[in-house]
Amino acid sequence: MEKMVNIYLFGKQYSVPEQLTIMRAMEYAGYQLVRGCGCRNGFCGACATIYRIKGDRELKTCLACQTKVEDGMYIATLPFFPLVKQVYDIEKISPTQQIMMQLYPEIYACVGCNACTKSCPQSLNVMQYIAYAQRGEFDQCAEESFDCVMCGICSTRCPAGISHPQVAMLARRLNGKYLAPRSQHLENRVQEIHDGTFTELIEALMGKPVEELKELYNHRDIEK
């Protein structure tokens, strides 16, 4: 028999198998997940969750698809958090420190509490990449924030109201557009697509049944 644990979903107690993730436990308990479930593999950031273990005062954060239930776990999901998302044209801005001052001035109100880093389910050094953004070191910010899944948990814990994922996204876009070395082989491949080099092949693939596509994918030649 499976070992069962008691968890609390939005204040109501349920008994669920201990090997389940929070997301699977919610479905086991009868919740139909139509939002906040996304990819189910930890990459989309849609299932941001906060929880506390009974008897422990610490409020913890996680992604529901990655984290297994524990006995006495009090759970509440965060399917949406209102991050500040500034509108800009990447073709009309430049990678200078002033662009962060203009678009996301709140990053300069950071008090260094490190709550953002402590809450990140990807274990990113969030406070550090914000420091890079403050100094206009966008290549460093892009590298440090590369694994961000835009869940927004860091921003829910920030007393300065910083929208860390959006700051990181701007840094990565600036880095990709202006700072990172150009990839000639990628540009050549994109040009081939525009020229129609692969049109006939793509149309042939689109006409194949799903099982044949799976077989082709599983036995494809992988470039070194």
What does the pLDDT profile of the chain (224 residues) look like in tens digits? 689 999 999 889 999 999 999 999 999 999 998 887 888 887 888 899 999 999 998 999 999 999 999 999 999 988 777 788 999 999 999 999 899 999 999 999 999 999 999 999 999 999 999 999 999 999 999 999 999 999 999 999 999 999 999 999 999 999 999 999 988 999 999 999 999 999 999 999 999 999 999 999 999 888 76
pLDDT score of 96 = 92
pLDDT score of 1 = 63
Distance of alpha carbon 43 from its chain centroid, rounded?
6
- The DSSP-derived string for 143-193 is HHTTT-----HHHHT-TT---HHHHHHHHHHHIIIIISPP-HHHHHHHHHH
Domain that holds residue 15: 4-77
Instruction: Tell me the sheet residues that pair with 77.
Output: 49
> Within a domain: residue 51?
yes
138 and 107 in a single domain? The answer is yes
132 and 58 in a single domain? The answer is no
15 and 71 in a single domain? The answer is yes
> Within a domain: residue 224?
no
How many other C-beta atoms lie within 10 A of the C-beta of residue 220? 8
Distance of alpha carbon 96 from its chain centroid, rounded?
25
168 and 189 in a single domain? The answer is no
192 and 133 in a single domain? The answer is no
Rounded to whole angstroms, the Cα distance separating 47 from 37 reads: 6
- How many structural domains compose the chain? 3
171 and 188 in a single domain? The answer is no
Residue 84 and residue 104 in contact, taking contact as beta carbons nearer than 8 Å: yes
110 and 164 in a single domain? The answer is yes
> Within a domain: residue 88?
no
> Within a domain: residue 15?
yes
pLDDT score of 150 = 92
> Within a domain: residue 210?
yes
